[in-house]
Structure 1
């Protein structure tokens, strides 16, 4: 009996935590929908959604938009008495997982494109790039975009078919499962026959394994591309070839996007992955779980907002770099620019980049 007050306090704390999760998820999902919609609208109004760079980013933003809508509906459903709420929550979670995995693959695809763009410009600065290589790169990019949509859908077919046939949606909206990613199906054991319980538990671990495997593979691929891009950018900084100021601005912004999109990716999904791993080790709710619940609601729901912020900030920096390089090119003499090129060896990469861009544009 001595443990009852402590258990009651923990239960009250969980109710407060999940109430906070609901409102945080509602706000962040709304912002994510606005952010991803802004990127889509920008691409459409500028008529650049079919350009090689914007195509993977456009699909990533569209996936973020649909995912944000799923988060938003789940937050609105929580605490209501909607008819067939269990079925809606179960299938919304399955649809959300399709968009989780799609967003992982689209993020990898976009960073892969940025790396290929950086490598192509490096080849162009030293030697000509064959049109056949560029065409093959575009074809591969189109195939990867199609697979990024098709693979998650195929992987989730068992969850839809077997899950609904076995009525795994029973009691799904209780225990806060409608607003959590992969909450263990512990409450179903008393409501379902043993055969159905076995199927539902198997589907739960199947979905969890797919999510963790896709995240880890995506993160590993992104890290490899990031390391390769950083090595390539260092070669650019140390190179002695002549490039115009706008070319250097493009190269620098592509390198920044290769760095910042992985940071946004990990910030969004890192807390959710950590929470899942801890829940597997310690299924019982603790204070650490409550902190991670709130942190997950803040980060996982904000992918569309963060991706929009990264692209918008790098676009602003791109125009700023172009203007600074042009002003510097207009005010410096060719002799001074050539001297600055040699003195810039001791500067940091950004200063060296801008100085070298100014020298190239002035001489040309």
Structure 2
């Protein structure tokens, strides 16, 4: 347990101590569940040797990002203070999660576009089951861009010794609790770093949300055209398209629900910091502690339900001979993966 003096010496109002204690336990529970959820996706994809499948490669990297982010949040809940370098690394990881979510939705859109092209042209040839060079480069950029965005935070924090602001209790909890009470009495570098971090979160969230919303609208248009076009669309292909359509809706919805409260709270810190010190800020902070840390777990539910529906459909719609042929083809695919 914590030392009584450490708990009481919070830099904000005394009432926030109970909020921070509640958030700490929420963070431990939610992050632990997300670790299990992200790990389940990684184990499932790797055990089936589908890491090179174009539609699962982005999901694998997103799950890795969610896994490391949850582990760092667990570490922050355990050490409570003295987390100077932990904070920028967490920021890199959740910005990477934003980029990888956009990359995942883009990958799903490309699969839908390929199905649309096949239905229009009547081409039924073999579709590549390997990740293209563009897909690998996109995944690499999703890790490089957040590092470049957070480089000024690393440099400025080291130069101005901002770690003195992270030695107070509860400053290692998720989403930068230290910035909740940045005031004009604090040094300019500390305030500038907090403003830059919040601005990066808001901008990346809005860009990602706009991108995945546009891709979702475009993909649903292509799906409707695919079903209504004059080309042949079989029963299995219709089921596949419905599954793609469901995922194209669920993944953006998961992103918005998980990171929306964090973006709203960061925006309020910039435009009206006094609001975040009242009950509104406390409610938003508790809400984001539940939602932001649960993306790995919710994504595992989406992926698991999708796999269950595919398996359930195959069992009830395929003959034993067709299932046996599909199993042999799947085994050969795994041997070449």
1:1-364 to 2 correspondences below 5 Å:
11-78=13-80, 85-86=81-82, 89-127=83-121, 138-174=132-168, 176-182=170-176, 183-184=178-179, 197-284=187-274, 285-326=277-318
CA distance in 1, matches of 2:30, 2:181: 29
**Residue of structure 2 equivalent to 1:81:** none
Cα deviation, residue 325, structure 1: 3.8
CA distance in 1, matches of 2:298, 2:209: 17
1:255-281 C-alpha deviation (Å, 9 max, x unpaired): 111110001101110011111122223
Higher mean C-alpha deviation, range 308-317 or range 281-290? 281-290
1:27-63 C-alpha deviation (Å, 9 max, x unpaired): 0000111110111111111111111111111110000
Any conservation in 2 of the 1:268–1:301 contact (CA below 8 Å)?
yes
Where structure 1 has 5 or more consecutive residues not aligned to the other structure, the ranges are 1-9, 79-84, 331-364
CA distance in 1, matches of 2:74, 2:313: 38
1:160-192 C-alpha deviation (Å, 9 max, x unpaired): 1221221111031426332142442756876x7
Higher mean C-alpha deviation, range 152-161 or range 297-306? 152-161
So what's the TM-score if we normalise by structure 2? 0.83
CA distance in 1, matches of 2:180, 2:42: 37
So what's the TM-score if we normalise by structure 1? 0.77
Any conservation in 1 of the 2:100–2:139 contact (CA below 8 Å)?
yes
CA distance in 1, matches of 2:116, 2:27: 43
CA RMSD of aligned residues (A): 2.6
Any conservation in 1 of the 2:255–2:295 contact (CA below 8 Å)?
yes
Cα deviation, residue 66, structure 1: 0.6
Any conservation in 1 of the 2:120–2:226 contact (CA below 8 Å)?
no
Higher mean C-alpha deviation, range 244-253 or range 118-127? 244-253
Cα deviation, residue 317, structure 1: 1.6
Higher Rg: 1
**Residue of structure 1 equivalent to 2:331:** none
Q: Relative to 1, partners in 2 of residues 1:148 and 1:29: Cα closer, same or farther, differing over 3 Å?
A: same
Cα deviation, residue 13, structure 1: 3.5
Any conservation in 1 of the 2:53–2:129 contact (CA below 8 Å)?
no
Cα deviation, residue 112, structure 1: 0.5
Q: Relative to 1, partners in 2 of residues 1:321 and 1:240: Cα closer, same or farther, differing over 3 Å?
A: farther
1:106-161 C-alpha deviation (Å, 9 max, x unpaired): 11111101011001011111216699x97999222221111111111122122112
